[in-house]
Amino acid sequence: MDDIDRMLIGLLQEDATQSYAALGQAVGLSSGAAHERVRKLRERGVIRRTTIEVDQAALGRAVTAYVLVDGGSWMGDSAEGLAGIPEVEEAHVIAGPASVLLKVRTAGPRELQDVLRRVFQVDGVTGTQTVIVLETFFERTLK
Amino acid sequence: MDDIDRMLIGLLQEDATQSYAALGQAVGLSSGAAHERVRKLRERGVIRRTTIEVDQAALGRAVTAYVLVDGGSWMGDSAEGLAGIPEVEEAHVIAGPASVLLKVRTAGPRELQDVLRRVFQVDGVTGTQTVIVLETFFERTLK
DNA sequence: CTTGAAAAGACTAAAAT
DNA sequence: ATTTTAGTCTTTTCAAG
């Protein structure tokens, strides 16, 4: 993992459709060498997968919210329950004012209410606190 | 934007390296038709870009935290200031216990402290409250 | 909008340095 | 680990249904 690997990762984050020839030229290597480095980055799991970034609003997901979840018991097994709610994009165990933090996307406030009901039914959940996003300044990939 | 478009988006989210022939077969179209639909989804901005998903920990970003930012004044101009901090991955204006919510990734707790200092120096910021992530259950792409 | 085919270009693997 | 080369597959374009 050297500077060239980091450059390749940065270039692929910006545009993963570019050719290995272009990548190689940008970092000063042949296309074969660039390809080999990217292959190894994938193999080692540094690059998890190639994917597309989607405009969620265009897909009918207009509301973003963060949900702080309080849980009396351990909640170690709540991961599957939360993963079973399709609108939950992220779930983190946190240190602070609650046990778990969720990122949720729904079509509207009404659907958010439905999600909160389902979160409440997950084992160990004793309460929720919801933070609604009014405007997103940015959601970006780190350099 | 019909069911086939939604299927194509789902397939590309899982693996954007697959061929248009494979995509077409999966949705019951020729490779040319699949290609044309994806081209239009890009053109309309539904697909923002093709990118890679990176293991942040493998890149030395071991700590994830959410930072609630309090701001006395409007903070409408704070977006650029926050965008100037490279460790800030997301910034949202929220309705709730604070003005802005940040997602931050750093190498360690020490670097997180540095970021908090820089957040504090952004125009309009009067206070912060930090939630540290202990474990991430999942961070996924919505279907 | 979809199909099918043709040309250009990219990927993959292998041999040599 | 990188370069180069050759073969194969894919992307991209375009004419026609």
The mean predicted confidence, pLDDT, of chain A is 95
Bigger pLDDT: B71 vs A21:
A21
As a rounded value in angstroms, the CA-to-C1' distance for B30 and C4 is 9
Lowest mean pLDDT among A125-134, B2-11, B69-78: B69-78
**pTM flag (> 0.85):** yes
Decide: CB of B31 under 7 A of nucleic strand D: yes
Q: Are B89 and B121 within 8 A, CB to CB?
A: no
* CA dist A2 → A10, A31, A37, A41, A129 (Å): 13, 18, 11, 11, 43
Give residues 12 to 71 of A whose Cβ lies within 8 Å of B.
12-17, 44-56, 58-59, 61, 64, 66
Residue B76 scores a pLDDT above 90: no
**Cβ–Cβ under 8 Å, residues B128 and B117:** no
Model confidence pLDDT, tens digit, residues B100-132: 999 999 999 999 999 999 999 999 999 999 999
Q: Which residue places its CA closest to the C1' of nucleotide C13?
A: A32
pLDDT, tens digit, for every residue of B16-64?
999 999 999 999 999 999 999 999 999 999 999 999 999 999 999 999 9
User: Measured between alpha carbons, how far is A50 from A47 in angstroms, rounded to an integer?
Assistant: 8
Closest CA to A114 of A72, A67, A55: A67
Q: Tell which phi-psi region holds residue A75, choosing left (phi > 0), alpha (psi between -120 and 50) or beta.
A: left
Indicate if the pLDDT at residue A47 is higher than 80. yes
Q: Is the pLDDT of residue A75 over 80?
A: no
Name which of A38, A36, A49 is nearest A7 in CA terms: A38
